[in-house]
Amino acid sequence: MSKDYDKHMLRERAERAPDITDEMWSQVSEHNRMIVDEFFESSSHLSKTSISQYKSALRIFFWWVHVKLKDKPMYNIKKRDFLKYVSHLKDKGFSSSGLKLKKSAVSSLCNFIENVLSDDEEFKEYEKFRNFCRGLPAQSSNVVYEKIPMTREEYDKVMEYLKEKEDYLGMAFHATSFNVGGRRNEIRNLKSEIATYENEKDSEGNELPFVLSHIVYGKGRDGGKPLKFMINNEAMEYIRLWLEQRRYENEYIFTVKYAGNNSQIGLSWANNFCQNIVSIVLDRRFTMHNYKASAITHLLEQGVDMKAVSKYVAHHENSATTEKFYDLRSDEEEKNSIFK
């Protein structure tokens, strides 16, 4: 049974953005709907996830234009109009990440119009169009929940629960997510062939305590950034145990049986696992994003170099990103030593 955790909240949760139904969307001006269609027909650089998010965000924006600006055509929308829209979202209590996504969707549409449609004779009304999202005041960041990493003791507590339930899929997923540091979509795309891989070796031929995965595509344009994950012996132990127990073949490690078919887990499966199992065992809200932060924090606490963790586990171009968003080590001891 799921449970909604309000502890560790730093601000009130925003209202959920309204779903713009197809019927509502049909009421938006034909011109604005046409511009959105043109944008997505030329957006092969966007991932499937980004396309889904941008479609929702643009529907929300143009529904607001329909209601508040009387369906003003895109070429007549000004910067002051968009500032009113942003203020509307802020008044609804949206987080900085929610605002950023909605602003990014509109800005991407504006860039497409400015860079592509403005030179097209069929769209003469956009000849002098400029991105009205450009040059807006910077948006301060805020978070809803305090980020708390999973400790090793908490990891063991969840694992004991899964063992009692004989949940072999859960054990493998839990061990992999905690030790590997991948995002949910990267974890779900790990393939069963990994179980046959041999451990990596150093320059002297000594066996190292991990295998290196096949290429998995992470976030990014044009299909995503190609990544290889280091999967340690602990995660490999539970992966092999799960594959042995499931007794059927599948390209992917993390699979479920549904309606008689064996299929790769979906993104919602990972969310439900965190919400309905991990959060309940820990008695606090825990997400897949917390798994990645926990993996990174655990390695840093063990003394592993920040640059190495950033490059090979977090897969960040700059270690400053890892330190800012994923290093959740406590600074209590450092703080308490100041006036000794």
Say if residue 98 is in the same domain as residue 208. no
Last residue of a domain, one of 126, 160, 177: 126
Say if residue 157 is in the same domain as residue 118. no
Which one, of 174, 141, 172, lies nearest residue 155 by Cα?
A: 174
Say if residue 281 is in the same domain as residue 186. yes
State whether the Cα torsion 162-168-169-175 is positive or negative: positive
In a domain, 95, yes or no: yes
The catalytic residue among 55, 79, 289, 311 is 289
Active site residue 289: yes
In a domain, 83, yes or no: yes
In a domain, 97, yes or no: yes
Indicate the pairing of strand 210-212 with strand 261-264: unpaired
Last residue of a domain, one of 111, 126, 141: 126
Weakly modelled stretches of the chain, pLDDT under 70:
1-18, 138-145, 221-222, 331-340
Express each pLDDT in 213-260 by its tens digit: 999 998 776 678 899 999 999 999 999 999 999 989 999 999 998 777
Give the pLDDT score at 90.
86
Say if residue 164 is in the same domain as residue 264. yes
Please tell me the distance from the alpha carbon of residue 33 to that of residue 31, in angstroms, as a whole number: 5
The catalytic residue among 219, 225, 316, 329 is 219
In a domain, 13, yes or no: no
In a domain, 17, yes or no: no
Give the pLDDT score at 317.
86
Please tell me the distance from the alpha carbon of residue 319 to that of residue 304, in angstroms, as a whole number: 13
Give the pLDDT score at 10.
42
In a domain, 11, yes or no: no
The catalytic residue among 102, 183, 184, 292 is 183
Amino acid at residue number 17: A
Say if residue 79 is in the same domain as residue 178. no
Say if residue 324 is in the same domain as residue 231. yes
Active site residue 340: no
Indicate the pairing of strand 210-212 with strand 230-232: antiparallel
In a domain, 146, yes or no: no
**Domain holding 68: CATH number?**
1.10.150
Say if residue 229 is in the same domain as residue 326. yes
Last residue of a domain, one of 58, 92, 126: 126
In a domain, 161, yes or no: yes
Give the pLDDT score at 224.
80
**Domain holding 295: CATH number?**
1.10.443.10
Say if residue 208 is in the same domain as residue 317. yes
What's the whole-model pTM score? Answer: 0.66
**Number of domains, the chain:** 2
The catalytic residue among 54, 145, 155, 326 is 326
Give the pLDDT score at 6.
55
Active site residue 316: no
Domain extent at residue 183: 152-336
Say if residue 95 is in the same domain as residue 175. no
Please tell me the distance from the alpha carbon of residue 250 to that of residue 247, in angstroms, as a whole number: 10
Say if residue 297 is in the same domain as residue 198. yes
